[in-house]
Structure 1
Amino acid sequence: MIPIRPSAALLFILAPLLSFAAPTFKNTAVVKTIDLQGPITTETTTYTAQLIRLDPGESTATEFEVIVGNDEHMRAGWFEAREKKAGKLGDELAWRKGGKIEGSSAHSYIITLPIPLQIDSSITLTTTFVLTDSVTPKPATIAQNEDQYLLWKGDAGILSAYEMEIGRVKIKSPTPQILSYSEPPTAYTQSNPITKSGAVLTLGPYHSVPALTSTLSVAPFEVHYRFNDPVISVKELKRAVEVSHWGNNLNIEDKITLSNTGPNLKGHFSRIDYMRSKSQRKFPAQVLSDLTMRLPPKIQVPYVYDTIGNVSTTHFRHSVSSERYATKIRAASRLPVPHEKEESVLEMRPRYPIMGGWDYNFTIGWDQSLSESLRKTVDGQWVLGVGFLTALQGVQYESIQWDVILPEGARDISVELPFPTDTAPEKYTHTTYLDTLGRPAVRVIKERCTEQCAVPVYVKYTLPVQANLQKPLAVTVAALSFFVGAMALKRALPSDRHRGGVAIKEVKKQ
């Protein structure tokens, strides 16, 4: 997860630290594709590698090493690796961080190969980094109807742990309106180091690049391009998941702080200009007028409100077919998926158009059947699978707080995360109405997320039979205590009729 062009001195340090690594591959072809998508950038690198050496006593290789720079490593919101066969990508491969290279800013990632490789065998692997905080608006302030331009700064070079025969880099802009870009050096090239064709910049091809040597010594590489969509970030998303075994209900509520991080609005907002552009179907690029949120299938009574009240400008479509959602759920085979090819879609128009530099706070929530996300294992343990966040396409998430509130009495709680987080899951007690000792809860916090993080998080716990009876018994005891107390109070205090009778007798005696 890192863009970097190491200097000669850095390479001198890296070489003795990494050259010992065995087995040794040779990258016969490397293609790096940088897809500029506004607030996020997707870097996909395809390695065609051949195993050329093994350590004595070893017959196969089981791991492949990827080297990235510190900038990519720090800005990465998602990383995955897959094998590519016949033009199709396979399942995700296991990987681990190899750690920071001592004496440098580079980082190592170790990918577990799908099958052990023998000498002279070849394999094609694809790695994907999804980076956040990739662009800045330039100019930083524009009028309401002006075009929006962004400046991307990043690593457009290829840094390989192994010798590379040939490699090239493609930078894809969402529009062909590219105002300017950096001029790369001619090292390792045999012709023009950069060409432009429409919305694509091609760097290279690069030939015979030594191991641990970047193809680009200019850092960072810059591209100034036009972007026709609003630049949206979620500053904070707080998700609360509440589990109810008695009601067979799963309630999910997200509190979202949305921000338009594009160019700030110059001057005042004009409602007249906005309505005119709306009637002409020519919305300014920097204006966010609607949102589309993908939600789980079979949800019930979704609701949206903001600081003023209910947001009625929404349209909910129940259980829309989605192979993308199905693929993620199928990967989590530990849970039953009765409607695996479906998802729900909620389209929302904010209370006001969100201009550059403006924020919007709102809350979205829904209920769904608990049986859709919960199952019981043979050893009596419950397994709950809930998505980590509400996916918004092309949006970066700065901070996510994910809380799950389990039934009172749950114990032996553990959390399985599909990605590394900044801190370990935190356990605490949540107390609400009708609780006695409080409900156990788990909190997960992660910085820098993308829509790819909308994958299930699994929580395992046990719930004894007596825990299921704890709340009904508490309600019963409370009700009985109330009635017994009322009866005792009535007997202890004389009634008005009794006090009146005594007074009448005293008057007659007089």
Structure 2
Amino acid sequence: MLPAMAKLRFSFIIFIVYLLVKCESATVDNISSDIKIKNVDRTIDISSQLVKITSKITLENTGGSPVKSFLLAAEDNAKNNIAFFGAKDSSNKDVRLVETSVKGYEYVKFWRAELKEAVNAGATATFTVESVSTKALQPFPTAISQQEDQLIKYIGNLYTYSPYYVTSQKTNVIVNTKSIETFTKVKPFSQQDGSIQYGPYPNTKPFSEKELIIHYRNNSPFLTVTRIERLIEVSHWGNIAVEEVIEIEHTGAKLKGPFSRYDYQQDHHSGPASVRSYKTLLPASASDVYYRDTNGNISTSNMKVKKDSVELDLRPRYPLFGGWRTHYTLGYNVPSYEYLYHSGNEYLLKMRVIDHIYDDMQVDELVTKIILPEGSTSVKINLPYAVTRLPDSLHYTYLDTKGRPVITFTKKNLVENHIQDFQLRYTFPRLLMLQEPLLVVGFLYALFLCVIVYVRLDFSIHKAEHPHKD
């Protein structure tokens, strides 16, 4: 017979093991043999610095019961570069994706696509899957001179990486150039101006892989925002101030040899892989825009006010070659009535997590800080995707007594697909809006009172003696 304490410990261990097994079974999926991929029409766009893959998938349910979900997968050498992964159904509505795992395939990254409408037995359904990968294109060679074109090497998978049997598939690779050094040749294939077509390939097994290599010219801007700190300061007096501190690096082929400013200015084709300028898009209501670096304001850039945005043609003080960096601050104001809503003491702020910095942008790290008015409480934030919340803090400025709440979050590896709105709710007693005016009035009153006292009091040590009259 075991002692009572030993029995208790044994029961506790059994309970913990049961919980672990239950949790594992809840987060681990199985690959259904009833699901087959009837057809895949895939497009790989490598014409910019990003790898954009769009796949039109026709799914077939060969089983006897409805299918409510299916799995999507990414190979081991590509999963770490994926910045965005999404899916839509035939009516162009988003399909909810949940990261999951499959026992025996720990090296594969899986998403479970949860369907709003199940695929009945014997039926088919069409879905569009989109992925955007950063830093998946490598300069080859890694260093070039000022006059040379930039050559890029793409290494991918000729087949769609799927956990299911694929009956037929074909791939179209967009390079937007005739200058292709070498590319993988697996029949059937064809080459046209700016693209390479592969397939159709019949009857490919699950998790099929065959190396696809394309070496081609790509002089598009290889700019990476290594860090951006975005500050949003909310005021209940009609204005929201936005300021961004941006660090950018040219991550393409590094400049080999000296840089000639004379050749660069005389020959417009000099430095084909360099970046002279780029366009940033701000909200249409943006005003009081400023753009400066460590040396001061930069006045060579242009601003165009359009119907749905404000377009800034930003031109750094010097062109950016491979390995070169720049650092600048961009700020503007927007009216609060377009982004801040309230009912009584309840407020809702709805703004973008990040703005459009340049076309085909890639951001290594974003830090967003939201400064709320002093006295705000019950703060709740709803974000369109997963981020890392940092500890809340306080910000002090003029006429503050307790400090303004600062909500901070960060995210890594962002692209244009992450330009989405967040929602921040908070409570603010409207009577507190009188705090700052009353502080100003009180200060002026005290100042005038001190002046009156100072004028009326006599602080002299000796009083002047008046002469006596005879």
Q: So what's the TM-score if we normalise by structure 2?
A: 0.86
**Alpha-carbon offset, residue 453 of structure 1:** 1.4
The 5-angstrom pairing of residues 125-274 of structure 1 reads 125-182=127-184, 192=187, 194-210=189-205, 212-214=206-208, 216-218=209-211, 221-246=212-237, 248-274=238-264
User: Does the C-alpha gap of structure 1 residues 425 and 24 become closer, same or farther in structure 2, counting only changes over 3 Å?
Assistant: farther
Note if contact 2:244-2:329 (Cα within 8 Å) is conserved in structure 1: yes
The code of the aligned residue for 1:318 comes to V
The 5-angstrom pairing of residues 405-420 of structure 1 reads 405-420=371-386
**Alpha-carbon offset, residue 193 of structure 1:** 5.3
The 5-angstrom pairing of residues 266-415 of structure 1 reads 266-278=256-268, 282=269, 284-320=271-307, 342-377=308-343, 380-391=345-356, 392-415=358-381
The code of the aligned residue for 2:316 comes to P
User: Does the C-alpha gap of structure 1 residues 18 and 420 become closer, same or farther in structure 2, counting only changes over 3 Å?
Assistant: closer
Note if contact 1:101-1:107 (Cα within 8 Å) is conserved in structure 2: no
Q: Cα deviation per residue 1:427-449 (whole Å; 9 max; x = unaligned)?
A: 22122222111111111211101
- Cα root mean square deviation, aligned: 2.6
The 5-angstrom pairing of residues 109-120 of structure 1 reads 109-120=111-122
CA distance in 2, matches of 1:19, 1:433: 56
The code of the aligned residue for 1:290 comes to S
Q: Cα deviation per residue 1:233-276 (whole Å; 9 max; x = unaligned)?
A: 11111110111102x10111111111111222222221221112
User: Does the C-alpha gap of structure 1 residues 106 and 319 become closer, same or farther in structure 2, counting only changes over 3 Å?
Assistant: same
The 5-angstrom pairing of residues 65-104 of structure 1 reads 65-84=71-90, 90-99=92-101, 103-104=105-106
CA distance in 2, matches of 1:380, 1:80: 37
CA distance in 2, matches of 1:315, 1:101: 55
CA distance in 2, matches of 1:233, 1:133: 9
The code of the aligned residue for 1:310 comes to N
The code of the aligned residue for 1:179 comes to E
CA distance in 1, matches of 2:453, 2:405: 37
Identity rate, percent: 25
Which residue is equivalent to 1:33?
43
Gaps of 5+ in 2: 1-26
Which residue is equivalent to 1:450?
415
CA distance in 1, matches of 2:419, 2:397: 28
Which residue is equivalent to 2:401?
436
**Alpha-carbon offset, residue 285 of structure 1:** 2.0
User: Does the C-alpha gap of structure 1 residues 267 and 433 become closer, same or farther in structure 2, counting only changes over 3 Å?
Assistant: same
**Alpha-carbon offset, residue 137 of structure 1:** 1.5
Q: Cα deviation per residue 1:339-358 (whole Å; 9 max; x = unaligned)?
A: xxx12211122212112211
The code of the aligned residue for 1:442 comes to I
Gaps of 5+ in 1: 1-16, 185-191, 321-341
1:471 lines up with 2:458 in the alignment: no
Q: Secondary structure at the residue paired with 1:175?
A: coil
CA distance in 2, matches of 1:238, 1:19: 38
User: Does the C-alpha gap of structure 1 residues 474 and 73 become closer, same or farther in structure 2, counting only changes over 3 Å?
Assistant: farther
User: Does the C-alpha gap of structure 1 residues 23 and 490 become closer, same or farther in structure 2, counting only changes over 3 Å?
Assistant: farther
The code of the aligned residue for 1:303 comes to Y
User: Does the C-alpha gap of structure 1 residues 54 and 440 become closer, same or farther in structure 2, counting only changes over 3 Å?
Assistant: farther
**Alpha-carbon offset, residue 473 of structure 1:** 3.2
CA distance in 1, matches of 2:390, 2:434: 28
Note if contact 2:43-2:55 (Cα within 8 Å) is conserved in structure 1: yes
Q: So what's the TM-score if we normalise by structure 1?
A: 0.80
CA distance in 2, matches of 1:425, 1:157: 41
